[in-house]
Amino acid sequence: MNLKLSAGLFAILLLTSSCEKEFNDLGASLLPSDNLIIEKEIAPVGLRHKSIEVVRTDNLSFFSLGEYEDALFGNTKASFTTQLSLATSSTGTFGSMRPDTEINGVSSDTTNKNPHDEQETVTEVWLEIPFYTNQRDRDGDGVIDSLDVDPDDPESDSDGDNLSDIEESRTVNLDPLNPDTDGDGLNDAEDDETINPDADANVYEIDYLFGDTDQELHFQVKKLDYYLSILDPNNNFETDNMFFSDKNFDEDGLTSSTLFDGKITLNFNEIVYFKEDDPLTDDVDESSQVHQRLSPRVRIPLDTSFFQQYILDKEGDDVIIDNNRFQEYFNGIVIDMEPTNPLMMQLNFGAGQIKINYDYKELTLSNGGDAANADEYVSQDSSSTFTINLGGVRFNTITQSAPDSEIQTALSGNDDGKNIYLKGGLGVFSTIDLFAGADGQLQLENFKANPWLINEANLILYTDQQKINALGIKDLPNRLYLFTESNGSPLEDFSIDASAGPYPEDNKTTFGGLAQYDDEGEVTSYKFVITKHISNLIRESADFENVRLALSTSSPFINTQISDVISPTEFRIPQTTITTPTSVILAGPSHSNPDLRLQLEIYYTAYE
């Protein structure tokens, strides 16, 4: 296409159209003052596929747990291994008295206590791993988008009580998600005396769960019997130790005590803890007062007798005070989950904790008593919590079943180029050659030989919806990532894109790669704007080669940190490509539908 313009009108067009197209301000002074024409050319693109079979997983930003089923790419299974870390303030003391004062008592001018065994006893132990959550509320009406009947209209009525969401959210005694907030049988719109019994309650949308979340899930938690050194013992402790996806300590016989082996149903509600009632305040029931609110999380009960022996009975020992000694003493845990129906979860392991609740007999001074008189202390039942963090070395063990023959054919290079196959994790990515073939090289040389201004360059990828639906692929990635194939580094267009916002989809929106949806919510395409990359290739050809690019699925949070792949060959890959289990089938450069074919479109300004 072309459009003839005068030089003056062209300058005005560039200015006024900047809101619609981000044109590259490159070499405008090189253009003659003759009539200018905006042109569009389609450049050929070459395609190959590569697989990831074994990859480093100890340095990931997202860790997975469970099983993911994919009819085309094969099934994925992930378990999680982690060290444990003491809180930085750990004193090695449980209860209110140090072990030596429990044995010897306290004797001073101001305080005297008799020897007293506090009898610290573990009552329950919980492994808690938060879900990733969000509270997106696009229209600001107080109802999160996932529960809002119309997330773009603050006047919508999500609970159907004839009061708008925003009206109820502005009133502390009304709940926009409950038509009868106080449960007295009267609709909120008709009730003049409504009192919200839990006005501070939070509602969350749960992120990064792929599969059946309603089933009972079989969890196993085992004690690890191998010290996870940060430094590599095979290299004289001079380099970082690396753990790869094929490392399985359980299969190697390096786990022992089973801390949990049973089934759990996930709970996606906010967790609320209440205070203990103080018997000295007869007029106040503290047990009805909220002590703490926690976001939804996986909660797994662990073996109390094990933690009694391994933790509380070690009171005062260096292994409960010094974190290095602790990690040598208690090497870590291995967590596995086997669902009946496929479910892969990406959990916030970085905020995971083991909470050890215990009771003890506390010596307390009687009301009005003299602290210097040991006989005026009485033993009182008390309780406390000791927390251990999931911290230190941690990694995913991942197994992947063989893909369908269609994928194997693509990986062998014997496919017809009709499709692009992408799968995260131990999956498949593609390499992209711009200006492919002899015709593409001639086209590139023609661009270089003419002083044309590159306005915009887009790589557009359309989904093969017919094939996706036929295979039942549901969890399409909401983002793809385009990078340099040789070393995994980002393109300059990615680096210079300053777009950002509170949610992952708000970041790097100019560079793109975000899924585009139709009116039915189906993913139709992905688009990358690589204007700077193409401009450099054409106008700075002495410094920029036409390097091979790579295309992969991506987690919503783009992480450009590099991980090493060691099988089937050795290469490096951005972490974002392996931290999502999702897959997609795209139309390739030879797709049967010409309108869907992979293409590089270049808008430029030429002259007559």
Confidence of residue 11 (pLDDT cuts 50, 70, 90): very low
**17 pLDDT tier (thresholds 50, 70, 90):** very low
Judge if 261 and 317 occupy the same domain: yes
Question: Do 389 and 525 reside in the same domain of the chain?
Answer: no
Q: Tell me: do 546 and 517 sit in the same domain.
A: yes
Question: Would the pLDDT of 31 be above 90?
Answer: no
The number of C-alpha atoms within 13 Å of 82 and in the hemisphere containing its C-beta is 26
Query: Residue 28 pLDDT more than 50?
Result: no
Establish if 268 belongs to a structural domain: yes
Which pLDDT value is given to residue 594?
Answer: 95
**Within-domain flag for 26:** no
Return the ∠ at Cα 488 (arms to 484 and 491), rounded to 5°: 40
**559 in helix, strand or coil?**
coil
* Residue 599 β-bridge partners: 460
353 lies in the same domain as 429:
no
Per-residue confidence band for 279, with pLDDT thresholds at 50, 70 and 90: confident
Q: Is residue 17 part of a domain?
A: no
Residues 428 and 573 placed together within one structural domain of the fold:
yes
Among 201, 221, 256, the domain boundary falls at 201
449 lies in some domain: yes
Question: Any bridge partners for residue 432, and if so which?
Answer: 47, 549
Per-residue pLDDT reduced to its tens digit, 472-508: 898 899 999 999 999 999 999 999 999 998 888 889 9
Let me know whether 214 and 332 are in one domain. Answer: yes
What value does the mean pLDDT take over residues 160-176?
Answer: 93
Measure the CA–CA gap between 374 and 386, rounded to whole angstroms: 28
The domain of 293 spans: 80-132+206-396
Count structural domains, the chain: 3
Average pLDDT, the chain: 91
- When comparing pLDDT for 193 and 483, which is higher? 483
Residues 220 and 298 in one domain: yes
The answer to whether position 29 is within a domain reads no
Final residue before a domain boundary, out of 396, 428, 443: 396
Are the C-beta atoms of residues 206 and 268 closer than 8 Å to each other? yes
Tokens of 210: 């792929």
Structure tokens at 232: 């590599």
Q: How far, in Å, CA of 497 to CA of 90, rounded?
A: 44
Helices 531-539 and 437-449 cross at an angle (nearest 10°) of 70
Which residue did the predictor score with more confidence, 10 or 411?
Answer: 411
The CA radius of gyration of the chain, in Å to the nearest whole number, is 31
Distance from CA of residue 532 to its chain's centroid?
A: 29
- Token digits of residue 524: 């139709």
pLDDT given for residue 608 in this prediction: 66
Task: Kindly report the number of other CB atoms within 10 A of residue 516's CB atom.
Answer: 15
> 371 and 509 share a domain?
no
pLDDT digits (tens, 9 = 90+) for 426-467: 999 999 999 999 999 999 999 999 999 999 999 999 999 999
Residue 154 within a domain: yes
Domain boundary among 368, 396, 424: 396
pLDDT at 252 over 60: yes
Specify the pTM: 0.89
Q: Is residue 389 part of a domain?
A: yes
Tell me, yes or no, whether 481 and 578 share the same domain.
Answer: yes
Nearest CA among 96, 479, 395 for reference residue 224: 395
pLDDT of residue 16: 41
Taking only the tens place, the pLDDT of each residue in 514-566 is 999 999 889 999 999 999 999 999 999 888 999 999 999 998 889 999 999 99
pLDDT single digits (tens) 285-319: 877 888 899 999 999 999 999 999 999 999 999 99
Instruction: Answer yes or no: is 72 within a domain.
Output: no
**Strand 394-400 with 106-107, pairing:** unpaired
Residues 423 and 514 in one domain: yes
Nearest to 530 by CA among 488, 574, 497: 497
Instruction: Give the model confidence (pLDDT) of 106-132 as tens digits.
Output: 999 999 999 999 999 999 999 999 999
Q: Are both 585 and 523 inside the same structural domain?
A: yes
Question: Distance from first CA to last CA of the chain, Å, rounded?
Answer: 14
Q: Are residues 472 and 385 in the same domain?
A: no
